[in-house]
Amino acid sequence: MTHLGKKIREIREKKKLLLRQVAAHLEVDTALTSKIETGERKASKEQILRIAEFLDTNVDDLLILWLADKIETAIGEEKRLAPDAMSFVKRKMKK
């Protein structure tokens, strides 16, 4: 399960909402919504915005997790060099 998927499921269950309700708001099938929660499928940025709206939660919190999942996927097995690469990017983004 991804960081984002886990958070979406946590919020949805806390609000006692069903997967099919989130799916209906996204205009996708329940299976796709389930796959987003389990991390089998990546959500688009637009889907994240719509999920945040529907769950009435902070969109930035979900986008941070969405980006974190993307970074983790890109890093893959490069755990030794990953911290240096992330520091490099962070420095570049500050400029």
User: CB-side exposure of 70: number of CA atoms within 13 Å?
Assistant: 10
Total domains in the fold of the chain: 1
Biggest CA–CA distance in the chain, Å, is 44
Round to whole Å and give the CA distance between 46 and 15. Answer: 22
Amino acid 15: pLDDT = 98
* CATH number of the domain enclosing 85: 1.10.260.40
Q: What are the tens digits of pLDDT across the range 21-72?
A: 999 999 999 999 999 999 999 999 999 999 999 999 999 999 999 999 999 9
What is the domain range of residue 52?
3-94
